[in-house]
């Protein structure tokens, strides 16, 4: 089918969370999140879970004249994600609905099309409906699909690897031919496989049907065909099997891709084309050898991610998704878990191309609710359609190594009809895709009602209570009793926060394959040692890989016990979770630096300090926190001579610390952290790392002066004039010596003119009352991040940034077709 992007020229009516409020109207291009630039409020219905953003409703309208190429075609609307409770209207006629805000869907428009048309998509974000920031509106790709009277439906195509032997592979291409005519038709379906490497060539992957470029004639790997009778008014299934020689495998380090071009011919006439990318790779899992990718043992260095892109909200811009993955790869992650919902197809396409393994998750709840207006309202009626949509859309992606059918599901421990629901979910997955294991992530919390117990302990206390032998009380393993039947329905058991069970269950359940689907940042070392020591555990996923909007303040550190209110989350103005290896702007946080060292991927040394106001003090955290340290050696004069705790993260035998050239102590790292206490004085703090008596690395922190200039650092030299491309521009405060000034933050104002618009402006600050969409933001530790979106015109984006007391700085970025 031909695919046409349908992103430009929409009109949005935005309504607030209170009924009968007057809407605001404006022209928008998609993707669009109608919530992210609204005012956050302490009394928002979603509370800390949604980052104190309020909900609302939005109606998206697009008027268009019927294009000539749509005539005599079957016309479908495809929406990759609309949050949520979407309803589609065409020319005042109701077409259909889709409640789940993360589920892709398509609807045929053909019977209701006229010469002049008005398409409306109504979205509703009634709080509370999620445990994190969801965003709202048409935040992912929207397309029009065109098909002739006979066509291959995109979701019917599945390319899988059946056999692999040395440099040969056998692939299976299954598909359906839809015949909308009133008589049977004899058709020929051809399949041509092209090598496209690690960089996808646009002309090869165009689903609208252009033939491969002449440059790809030599890239044709193999071809085949089949003849079939397409039954009138039905979908006719068939399979083409092909043998490939001199195959290059898809791997996390070398993600080589192929594309199969399917064509449908009838009586010598070409009726349809479809291009499907795929990779050739093998996966195996067992409790003795762990996980193997192409026969190579691999441990998952994973991270849980939510779907938002900070100041862009939920919008799934291709460049934003690409940047996210680039940062994750550079940080050392080889896998992500899509917590707790299907992701955009844009994200998965990029995971294929960049070599990132994916555990794609379907649901955060089943029939029992976690928030008042979440998916539990729709699960019984819609689960099969939504789970099927995820698998049918995504099953040809080589990046996906497993499917997850849920996260921390109350019914999993034996209540309600949990076991029967799980059986149905697993059967649905296996009916559509037998090539991947089925999993679920479950914490160690017990269903106390089932064992006749009650507790007034907080969630954090319960986590601690079960930390030695999770789920065991009085010598009885209640957790195993409550979950054993459920785990038998799955291929991989996802354990959230219960690493001691990796070893326990290697004895209790020697055939069980386990992965740590969520782990605490504060105990990274213990979790990773458990992964390395237990072959039955294939890896783990830190909560979280990146900071995200919502679950505000869960990773906070409280130095004043009087400020701790007993809550798992933070009070307003907390904005983000503050639990990530990476902050909202994409900067590596201290825990991320440590995590990379722990994985053995960083042999350097990295200095951090605790503010002298906190020296010797104890702090409180949830377990999802990291100690509050920073790369800082500039303090107020009042701290002259006061003790400062200094830390060096590194994989070494010993660290020596120097202040202004004088040794102030040596320390042997414990769990990759060396520390000393130093009396603060301005100047240069240095750490030298030694291994076997030889200096192998060093790091320096310097006292900085007042900020004197704003430095703008565009991450790309040029962007595309397609109306969708982005450029991320780092904003930094520097002193006269060019050093980053991290302790004297300023509010910056950003203005974008020329061939672009300002799409987002934010900082890494997890606790701020600032709102997005104002064009102003206070830097955080000397940094902010501006994002410009290209217009559909050649020229230059001109970005000007100002701050009180500093000269204006301007940068230009070319925008070209």
Cα–Cα distance measured from residue 178 to residue 151, given in angstroms and rounded to the nearest whole number: 5
The pLDDT assigned to 19 comes to 61
CB atoms within 10 A of CB 98: 25
Are the C-beta atoms of residues 785 and 729 closer than 8 Å to each other?
Answer: yes
The pLDDT assigned to 512 comes to 98
The pLDDT assigned to 471 comes to 87
Cα–Cα distance measured from residue 145 to residue 182, given in angstroms and rounded to the nearest whole number: 22
Using alpha carbons, select from 344, 311, 342 the residue that is nearest to residue 325: 344
140 located within any domain: yes
Residue 9 binned pLDDT confidence (cut-offs 50, 70, 90): very high
Clarify whether residues 762 and 693 are in a common domain.
no
Are the C-beta atoms of residues 345 and 277 closer than 8 Å to each other?
Answer: no
563 located within any domain: no
Cα–Cα distance measured from residue 703 to residue 640, given in angstroms and rounded to the nearest whole number: 12
Q: Which two tokens stand for residue 500?
A: 């001691």
Are the C-beta atoms of residues 265 and 504 closer than 8 Å to each other?
Answer: no
Burial of 636 (0-12, 13-18, 19+ CB in 10 A): exposed
Are the C-beta atoms of residues 648 and 699 closer than 8 Å to each other?
Answer: yes
Clarify whether residues 515 and 387 are in a common domain.
yes
CATH number (domain holding residue 79): 2.60.120.260
Q: Is the pLDDT of residue 466 over 70?
A: no
Are the C-beta atoms of residues 403 and 436 closer than 8 Å to each other?
Answer: yes
E strands, 408-498, are: 438-443, 472-473, 476-477, 492-496
556 located within any domain: no
94 located within any domain: yes
Residue 207 binned pLDDT confidence (cut-offs 50, 70, 90): very low
DSSP structure class, residue 252: S
> Which string of DSSP letters, residue by residue, matches 51-79?
TT---EEEEEEEEEE--GGGTTSEEEEEE
Residue 198 binned pLDDT confidence (cut-offs 50, 70, 90): low
Residue with tokens 């909308």: 180
Are the C-beta atoms of residues 61 and 123 closer than 8 Å to each other?
Answer: no
Residue ending a domain, choose from 530, 546, 562 = 546
CB-facing half-sphere around the CA of 695: CA atoms within 13 A: 8
Residue ending a domain, choose from 517, 546, 575 = 546
Clarify whether residues 139 and 184 are in a common domain.
no
589 located within any domain: no
Residue partners of 60: CB distance under 8 A and separation at least 6: 10, 11, 12, 28, 30, 32, 120, 121, 122, 123, 137, 138
Using alpha carbons, select from 32, 21, 19, 92 the residue that is nearest to residue 60: 32
The pLDDT assigned to 750 comes to 99
- Out of 310-314, 366-370, 474-478, 506-510, pick the least confident: 474-478
Clarify whether residues 616 and 721 are in a common domain.
no
Clarify whether residues 133 and 201 are in a common domain.
no
Clarify whether residues 349 and 451 are in a common domain.
yes
Are the C-beta atoms of residues 123 and 139 closer than 8 Å to each other?
Answer: no
- pLDDT, one tens digit per residue, over 371-380 is 999 999 999 9
Clarify whether residues 192 and 138 are in a common domain.
no
Residue 446 binned pLDDT confidence (cut-offs 50, 70, 90): confident
Residues in a beta bridge with 442 = 495
Q: What percent of the chain has pLDDT over 90?
A: 89
Q: Which two tokens stand for residue 224?
A: 């085949």
Cα–Cα distance measured from residue 342 to residue 402, given in angstroms and rounded to the nearest whole number: 13
Average pLDDT over residues 147-173: 96
**Count of structural domains within the chain:** 5
Q: Is the pLDDT of residue 449 over 70?
A: no
Chain centroid, CA 456 distance in Å: 35
Give Cα separations from 37 to 9, 127, 760 (angstroms).
20, 17, 9
Phi, psi of 220 (to 5 degrees): -65, 120
Buried b (16+ CB within 10 A) or exposed e, 171-201: bebbbbbbbeeeeebebebbbbbbbbeeeeb
155 located within any domain: yes
- pLDDT, one tens digit per residue, over 644-687 is 999 999 999 999 999 999 999 999 999 999 999 999 999 999 99
- pLDDT, one tens digit per residue, over 725-734 is 999 999 999 9
Cα–Cα distance measured from residue 300 to residue 298, given in angstroms and rounded to the nearest whole number: 6
CATH number (domain holding residue 669): 2.60.40.10
Q: Is the pLDDT of residue 634 over 80?
A: yes
Using alpha carbons, select from 534, 543, 533, 495 the residue that is nearest to residue 517: 495
Clarify whether residues 252 and 305 are in a common domain.
no
Residue 445 binned pLDDT confidence (cut-offs 50, 70, 90): confident
How many residues does the structure list for the chain? 817
CATH number (domain holding residue 363): 3.20.20.80
Enter the pTM of the model. Answer: 0.95
Residue 413 binned pLDDT confidence (cut-offs 50, 70, 90): confident
What is the β-pairing status of strands 105-108 and 74-79? antiparallel
The pLDDT assigned to 620 comes to 86
Q: Which two tokens stand for residue 1?
A: 């089918």
Q: Is the pLDDT of residue 210 over 60?
A: no
Clarify whether residues 184 and 132 are in a common domain.
no
Average pLDDT over residues 367-388: 97
**Which residue range(s) make up the domain with 225?**
151-278
Q: Is the pLDDT of residue 155 over 60?
A: yes
E strands, 552-683, are: 605-609, 643-650, 654-659, 662-667, 673-679
352 located within any domain: yes
Clarify whether residues 255 and 231 are in a common domain.
yes
> Which string of DSSP letters, residue by residue, matches 518-582?
EE-GGGHHHHHHHHHH-TTEEEEEES-SB--BSSTTTT--BSSGGG--S-SSPPTTB-B----SB
Residue 200 binned pLDDT confidence (cut-offs 50, 70, 90): very low
Clarify whether residues 446 and 515 are in a common domain.
yes
571 located within any domain: no
Clarify whether residues 252 and 387 are in a common domain.
no
Cα–Cα distance measured from residue 81 to residue 64, given in angstroms and rounded to the nearest whole number: 22
What is the β-pairing status of strands 492-496 and 514-519? parallel
Residue ending a domain, choose from 519, 546, 573 = 546
- pLDDT, one tens digit per residue, over 97-142 is 999 999 999 999 999 999 999 999 999 999 999 999 999 999 999 9
Average pLDDT over residues 147-166: 96
């Amino acid at each position: 089918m031909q695919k046409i992007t349908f992103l430009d020229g929409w009109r949005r009516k935005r309504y607030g969370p209170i009924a009968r409020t007057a809407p605001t109207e404006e022209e928008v291009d998609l993707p669009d999140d109608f919530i992210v630039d609204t005012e956050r409020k302490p009394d928002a219905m979603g509370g800390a879970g949604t980052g104190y953003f309020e909900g609302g409703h939005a109606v998206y309208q697009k008027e268009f004249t019927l294009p000539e190429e749509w005539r005599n075609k079957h016309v479908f609307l495809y929406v990759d994600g609309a949050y949520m409770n979407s309803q589609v209207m065409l020319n005042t006629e109701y077409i259909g609905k889709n409640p789940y805000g993360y589920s892709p869907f398509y609807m045929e428009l053909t019977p209701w099309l006229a010469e002049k048309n008005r398409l409306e998509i109504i979205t509703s974000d009634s709080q509370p409906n999620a445990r994190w920031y969801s965003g709202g509106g048409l935040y992912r790709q929207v397309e029009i699909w065109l098909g002739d009277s006979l066509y291959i439906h995109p979701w019917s195509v599945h390319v899988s690897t059946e056999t692999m032997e040395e440099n040969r592979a056998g692939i299976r291409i299954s598909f359906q031919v839809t015949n909308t005519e009133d008589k049977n038709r004899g058709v020929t379906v051809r399949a041509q496989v092209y090598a496209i490497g690690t960089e996808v060539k646009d002309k090869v992957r165009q689903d609208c049907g252009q033939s491969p470029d002449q440059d790809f004639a030599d890239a044709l790997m193999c071809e085949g065909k089949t003849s079939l009778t397409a039954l009138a008014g039905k979908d006719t299934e068939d399979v083409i099997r092909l043998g490939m020689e001199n195959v290059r495998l898809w791997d996390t380090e070398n993600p080589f891709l192929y594309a199969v071009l399917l064509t449908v011919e009838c009586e010598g006439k070409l009726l349809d084309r479809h291009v499907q990318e795929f990779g050739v790779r093998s996966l195996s899992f067992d409790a003795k050898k762990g996980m193997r990718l192409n026969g190579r043992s691999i441990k998952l260095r994973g991270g849980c991610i939510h779907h938002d892109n900070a100041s862009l909200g939920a919008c799934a811009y291709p460049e934003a998704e690409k940047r996210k993955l680039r940062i994750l790869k550079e940080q050392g992650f080889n896998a992500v878990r899509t917590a707790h919902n299907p992701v955009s197809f844009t994200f998965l396409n990029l995971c294929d191309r960049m070599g990132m393994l994916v555990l794609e998750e379907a649901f955060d709840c089943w029939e029992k609710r976690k928030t008042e207006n979440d998916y539990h309202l729709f699960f019984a009626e819609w689960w099969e359609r939504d789970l099927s949509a995820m698998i049918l859309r995504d099953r040809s992606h080589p990046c996906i190594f497993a499917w997850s059918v849920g996260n921390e599901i109350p019914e999993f421990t034996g209540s309600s009809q949990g076991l029967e629901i799980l059986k149905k979910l697993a059967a649905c997955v296996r009916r559509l895709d037998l090539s991947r294991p089925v999993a679920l992530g479950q914490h160690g919390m017990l269903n106390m009602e089932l064992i006749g117990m009650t507790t007034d302990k907080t969630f954090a206390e319960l986590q601690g209570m079960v930390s030695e032998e999770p789920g065991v009380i009085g010598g009885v393993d209640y957790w195993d009793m409550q979950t054993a039947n459920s785990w038998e329905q799955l291929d991989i058991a996802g354990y959230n926060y219960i690493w001691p069970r990796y070893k326990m269950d290697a004895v209790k359940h020697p055939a069980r394959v386990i992965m740590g689907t969520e782990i605490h940042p504060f105990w990274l070392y213990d979790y990773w040692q458990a992964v390395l020591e237990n072959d039955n555990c294939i890896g783990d996923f830190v909560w979280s890989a990146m900071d995200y909007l919502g679950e505000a303040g869960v990773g906070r550190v409280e130095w004043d016990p009087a400020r701790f209110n007993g809550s798992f989350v933070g009070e307003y103005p907390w904005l983000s979770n503050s639990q990530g290896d990476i902050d909202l702007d994409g900067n590596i946080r201290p825990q991320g630096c440590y995590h990379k060292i722990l994985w053995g991927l960083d042999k350097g040394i990295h200095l951090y300090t605790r503010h002298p106001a906190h020296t010797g003090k104890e702090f409180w955290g949830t377990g999802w926190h990291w100690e509050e340290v920073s790369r800082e050696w500039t303090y107020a004069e009042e701290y002259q001579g006061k003790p400062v705790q200094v830390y060096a993260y590194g994989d070494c035998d010993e660290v020596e610390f120097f202040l202004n050239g004088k040794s102030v102590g040596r320390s042997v790292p414990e769990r990759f952290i060396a520390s000393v206490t130093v009396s603060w004085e301005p100047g240069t703090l240095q750490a030298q790392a030694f291994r076997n008596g030889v200096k192998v690395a060093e790091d320096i922190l310097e006292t900085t002066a007042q900020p004197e200039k704003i430095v703008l650092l565009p991450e790309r030299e040029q962007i595309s004039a397609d109306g969708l491309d982005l450029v991320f521009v780092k904003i930094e405060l520097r002193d006269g010596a060019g050093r980053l000034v991290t302790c004297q933050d300023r509010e910056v104002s950003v203005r974008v003119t020329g061939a672009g618009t300002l799409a987002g402006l934010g900082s890494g600050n997890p606790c701020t009352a600032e709102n997005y969409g104002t064009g102003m933001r206070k830097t955080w530790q000397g940094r902010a991040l501006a994002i410009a979106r290209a217009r559909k015109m050649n020229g230059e984006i001109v970005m000007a940034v100002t701050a009180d007391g500093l000269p204006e700085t301007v940068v230009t970025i070319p925008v070209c077709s």
